């Protein structure tokens, strides 16, 4: 979608780029009430918005919608930027634009999160924006927790709950060849060589048990029966079931 030249009526092939000096000059004029400077700032940073929305083009949303939302984040950045801080405008604006896009995607997500957790997450995001406006940097979780008066774990859970899901087939990077996707970086802990060997050893050890021992272990550990229930089904005492079970488990441990 980003190959299209015109987005929301803007010809992206002709977007201008402001220098850092020009940006600071316009920011100062803008904060003094110059509406024309504000318009030039927006126009001069649309390429920044375009670069940010590339991260979100695989979410099934129209690029025109993402661009408009990104522009809202840009305008918020212009209105809240503090020139007294030794920070480049783009360093401050990018997280603000990303935050606005994530908020938009969360509000339109098919995944439902409880209202209380969503409210906590939104409060955390608002506290985060206030902190960024005051300090020109993102707060830590501990700083957010102090600001909101909540346990840090509650804030982490709430923010994690509204994170947009990522496809396993989303490409991470490409090094002059096939792209590496998320699924290529996910470790499978259930199909390792060690697990396969353990399963084979367990199966061989089970084969060496008597049919009654196999039946007892199946009832106890696969069906979740108590020793008393197993004793009643097989027709022997609970003490005998306990001895047979213990002997069978010791035999399996020795074999493995």
pLDDT per position as a tens digit, 71-104? 999 999 998 888 888 888 888 888 889 888 888 8
Task: Determine the Cα–Cα distance for residues 180 and 169; give it in Å rounded to an integer.
Answer: 9
Q: What is the pLDDT of residue 206?
A: 83
Total count of residues recorded for the chain: 256
Q: What is the pLDDT of residue 1?
A: 46
Closest of 215, 220, 205 to residue 250, by C-alpha: 205
What's the whole-number mean pLDDT along residues 215-228?
A: 88
What is the phi-psi region of residue 187: left when phi exceeds 0, alpha when psi lies from -120 to 50, beta otherwise? beta
Neighbour count for residue 256 (Cβ, 10 Å): 12
Q: Which letter, b or e, does each residue of 137-174 get, where b requires 16 or more Cβ atoms within 10 Å of its Cβ?
A: eebeeebbbebbebeeeebeebbeebeeeeeeeeeeee
Q: Which long-range contacts (CB under 8 A, 24 or more apart) does 83-87 make?
A: 83/24, 83/27, 83/28, 83/31, 85/135, 85/136, 87/136, 87/137
Q: Catalogue all structural domains in the chain, each as residue range(s) with its CATH number.
A: 1-108 (1.20.120.1810), 111-165 (1.10.10.10), 193-255 (1.10.10.10)
Lowest mean pLDDT among 131-140, 173-182, 218-227: 173-182
Q: What is the pLDDT of residue 198?
A: 74
DSSP string, 127-154: HHHHHHHHHSSPPPHHHHHHHHTS-HHH
Task: Determine the Cα–Cα distance for residues 232 and 238; give it in Å rounded to an integer.
Answer: 8
Place of tokens 């697990």: 195
Mean pLDDT estimate for the chain: 81
Q: How confident is the model at residue 165 (pLDDT cuts 50, 70, 90)?
A: low
pTM of the model: 0.46
pLDDT per position as a tens digit, 110-156? 556 667 777 888 888 888 888 888 888 888 888 988 989 989 888 88
pLDDT per position as a tens digit, 102-111? 888 777 765 5
């Amino acid at each position: 979608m980003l190959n299209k030249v015109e987005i929301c009526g803007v010809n992206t092939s002709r977007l201008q780029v402001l220098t850092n000096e020009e940006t600071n000059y316009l920011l100062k004029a803008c904060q003094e009430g110059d509406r024309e400077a504000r318009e030039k700032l927006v126009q001069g940073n649309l390429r920044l918005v375009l670069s940010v929305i590339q991260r979100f083009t695989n979410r099934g949303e129209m690029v025109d919608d993402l661009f408009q939302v990104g522009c809202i984040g840009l305008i918020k950045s212009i209105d809240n930027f503090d020139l007294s801080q030794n920070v480049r405008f783009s360093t401050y604006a990018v997280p603000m634009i990303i935050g606005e896009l994530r908020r938009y995607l969360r509000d339109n997500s098919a995944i439902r999160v409880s209202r209380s957790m969503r409210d906590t997450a939104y409060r955390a995001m608002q506290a985060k924006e206030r902190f960024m406006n005051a300090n020109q940097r993102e707060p830590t979780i501990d700083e957010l927790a102090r600001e909101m008066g909540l346990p840090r774990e509650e804030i982490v859970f709430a923010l994690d709950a509204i994170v947009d899901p990522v496809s396993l087939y989303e490409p991470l990077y490409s090094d002059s060849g096939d792209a590496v996707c998320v699924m290529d970086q996910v470790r499978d802990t259930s199909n390792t060589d060690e697990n396969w060997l353990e399963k084979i050893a367990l199966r061989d050890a089970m084969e060496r048990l008597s049919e009654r021992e196999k039946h007892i272990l199946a009832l106890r550990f696969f069906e979740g029966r108590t020793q008393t229930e197993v004793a009643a089904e097989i027709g022997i005492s609970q003490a005998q079931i306990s001895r047979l079970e213990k002997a069978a488990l010791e035999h399996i441990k020795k074999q493995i």
